[in-house]
Amino acid sequence: MVKTSIYQIYPRSFFDSNSDGIGDLQGIIQKLDYIKELGFETIWISPFYSSPQADFGYDIADYYNISPEYGTMQDAEQLIAEIHKRGMKVLFDMVMNHTSDKHHWFLESKQNKTNPKADWYIWRDEPNNWKSIVGPKGWHFYKERNQYYFASFLPFQPDLNYRNPEVKKAMFDVCRFWLQKGVDGFRLDIFNCIIKDAEFKNNPFSLMHIIPSEDFPGGNFQIRKYSLNLDENFALAKELRKVVDEFQPQRILLGEVFGKNEVKKKYLGENNDGLHLIFLFDILFFKFNADFFRKKILEYEQHYPFPYTPTIVFSNHDQLRSIKRIGNSLEKAKLLALLQYTMRGVPTVYYGEEIGLTNGNIPIKIGKDPIAKTFSWVPQIIANMLPVAINRDVCRTPMQWNNTQKNAGFSSANITWLPINKDVENRNVSQQKSEKNSLLNVYQALNKLRKENSAINSGNIEIINTGNKNILAFLRTFEDEKLLVLLNFSRSKITNNISQSIKEVVFSITNKKTFDGILDGYDGVILNI
């Protein structure tokens, strides 16, 4: 079981230390005390390796160097050291499925069919029917080699060929390089795409699968039976686990994988000998009601019982910010935070989530996101209605530190890489620090509580039936500790007839000192019983 809390930083948008309008590593270093003060134990940082930035870091040209807009190798080493100095851990994002088409491996591979790296990528004389995850075209013709290469994502991100043992060794060596630098593990980008069918069998056609879903075998009218979640990917997870287990203290692997629970669980290994954690992305598309989360808790306990650990995430750099799903309500956001921190699992918080940072108003036609450029033909009114982000710029706008300085304190540059949101007046760190019952202070209190309370960070969970569909209630227990969590998902006051003897109020969104059985609208409490 993994016990930690994770704060995700998108470095380009966190803090700009040199006034060029782009966040950087020194900017993160300058804000580490803020993250420490909030109580987070682990930081996950999206890629900052050398890259042409066509996909803003997820197109890596050199795994062993740093993109100059973010800093230097010395900055990266200092960042690791400063995080450790504060008693925190750090996960670097590791993109293993593909590289940039500017990576020297691909530059060599594409020259001809006989060079030493000719089969380091997936090449074919004729394409099969495999599609890209973000568009209809997965195969791309390179005339100098007179062959097609495969890209699971965008054309400038060719997929590596892990059936070549040299490729696997090269990527494992990359991981060892950073582990030797002191990183505490990796968030593994799109890990379940890495190994494809050796015979290149066509994926089955399906009318039901129009767009990708949480199951993710679909999209473009096909089920990705032969290009996703192959048995070899499960085996790769175990191999990579052996690599990180070479290092002490324990390092962590957090995998981005998609599929049904019975498929995703295979990445953890039958004996907990695979990845340590996987994202459970179905919860990203939550419905704000008690019944939805009641079912999710039961589902996760069925599929990921102890010693497995669910990973609870409501937002990230690829999806619309969760607060959009709740009408940008700070009161509802507090309830979600309480739920996230009291469910069994690892809470993962995307930068800005702690202040209720909303999606930016960036039209798809002017989006910098390469996916936005792919879908620029989609009318804006349709893009606004979609439950997924086809312009990820909207969830990557700069962090809002205050409402008194230029660009919300993110940068002193005249122009920032993405515009500052217009909601900066009351959604900024400085103001919320001073407000006793702000969303930020709720996160801080929950981090503290979770660290100190074994029932929450290590205990069992049991759903309690209150007889009211709008109340989500569950017990967290560890040895002699027993906590009752009550969450009111309605706007109305609700009276609960609780049979348990209440010893004290451990936490209350509305700062209740005693509990009389009444929950205000969107209220939540933790009771010691």
Tokens of 476: 């967290």
Contacts of 314 (CB under 8 A, 6+ apart): 283, 284, 286, 322, 336, 340, 350, 353
The H-assigned helical ranges of 254-329 are: 261-264, 290-303
- CA–CA dist 424, 440 (Å, integer): 14
Contacts of 68 (CB under 8 A, 6+ apart): none
Q: Which one-letter amino acid corresponds to residue 397?
A: T
Catalytic residue among 33, 37, 246, 452: 246
Q: What angle do CA 75, 78, 81 make, to 5 degrees?
A: 155
- CA–CA dist 51, 68 (Å, integer): 9
Quick one: 143 exposed, middle or buried, by C-beta within 10 A (0-12, 13-18, 19+)?
exposed
* Residue 43 · residue 89 · CB < 8 Å: yes
Q: Is 197 annotated as catalytic?
A: no
Catalytic residue among 24, 189, 369, 393: 189
- CA–CA dist 248, 129 (Å, integer): 44
Q: Is 452 annotated as catalytic?
A: no
* Residue 43 · residue 9 · CB < 8 Å: yes
- CA–CA dist 310, 287 (Å, integer): 19
- CA–CA dist 361, 144 (Å, integer): 42
DSSP string, 493-523: -EE----SPP-EEEEETT--SS--SEE-TT-
Positive or negative, the CA dihedral 56, 60, 62, 63 is positive
Chain mean position to CA 382: 25
- Residue closest to 359 by CA, chosen among 384, 331, 333, 334: 384
Which residues does the annotation mark as catalytic?
189, 246
